Amino acid sequence: MALAFAWLGIAGHAAAASLTLERTNHWLVIRGPNLPGEIRINYLEAYCRAGSTDADWVKHTVVPHRNEFISMNASSTVLRLKDTLQDGVIVEHTISAGEDAVDFRLVAHNPGSQRSEAHWAQPCVRLSAFMGFDEKTAGNAEDYLPRCFIFLDGKLTRMPTPDWATKARYVPGQTWCPAHVPRTDVNPRPLSPLVPSNGLIGAFSANEKWIFATAWEPYQELFQGVARCLHSDFRLGGLAPGERKEIRGKIYLVRNDVPALLKRYARDFPQHQHKAKR
């Protein structure tokens, strides 16, 4: 009987519904049987240089790269990709989907003899379907802002946050620069004077039953973009010749329980809790 129950436990675990992944051109698509809509990510939208806050996006900031599909497992839950930057840096991605989260493990390596200027990078997460909007109306939309949030002074704060900035080289949008990053090295969209408490950014579904949230370590910025998108953009900091760096990321797709999300985030990213207290 004990063996029977053990078998049932294993079978039940194996049968648990998982998120799945799809790769189409430069899009990473996340789907799940319980989600209110798919998540589409421009992955990766760009690798970027420092000095980007007030610089031309094309002429200065973007470091061109080429993406290669390596493999996808049979259950569409583990995807491997490789990026080769124009300066020779190689970034290997292993993306794994679980029951309510997607895990990102990146290894960046500079095999060349010159220091790389790649300083940060941005996965652009499109949330129209998740929040119940038509993707065709996403351009420069602001209707989704009240469903989006960051944490200020330790509290969940919905957008538009206080002191909403409106002036920058490119508008609209909003960037939040954490304390550990120079304010000269972030997205050239309006830069909020407010410093986020942590590296978590997210949104509620249309019926407020679900939360999307994302974080990376190390992270460069939080950003609300112009295509019903949210970013937690990760930090590379440049790579010396021969240098190798590891980057971690997470997307949470969970029931609306903010305290539970914060506990999980604190467990997954303890470094962010330290930075928030500095």
pLDDT tens digits, 213-238: 999 999 999 999 999 999 999 999 99
**For the chain, percent of residues with pLDDT exceeding 90:** 88
**Has residue 17 got a pLDDT over 90?**
no
In 3D space, the residue among 153, 95, 127 whose CA is nearest the CA of residue 224 turns out to be 127
The predicted pLDDT at position 13 comes to 40
pLDDT tens digits, 90-141: 999 999 999 999 999 999 999 999 999 999 999 999 999 999 999 989 888 8
Biggest CA–CA distance in the chain, Å, is 69
CA angle 98, 94, 186 (to 5 degrees): 100
Average pLDDT, the chain: 93
**Has residue 275 got a pLDDT over 90?**
no
Q: Name the CATH architecture for the domain at 18-277.
A: Distorted Sandwich (2.70)
**Secondary structure of the chain: what % helix, strand, coil (to 5)?**
15, 40, 45
Give the pLDDT band (50/70/90) at residue 72.
very high
Give dist(CA 177, CA 222) in Å, integer: 7
**Amino acid identity, position 125:** V
Give dist(CA 14, CA 18) in Å, integer: 9
Domain positions in the chain:
18-277
**Has residue 9 got a pLDDT over 50?**
no
The predicted pLDDT at position 5 comes to 34
Which residue shows structure tokens 């797709």?
253
Give dist(CA 124, CA 231) in Å, integer: 6
* Region 195-204 average pLDDT: 98
Give the pLDDT band (50/70/90) at residue 270.
very high
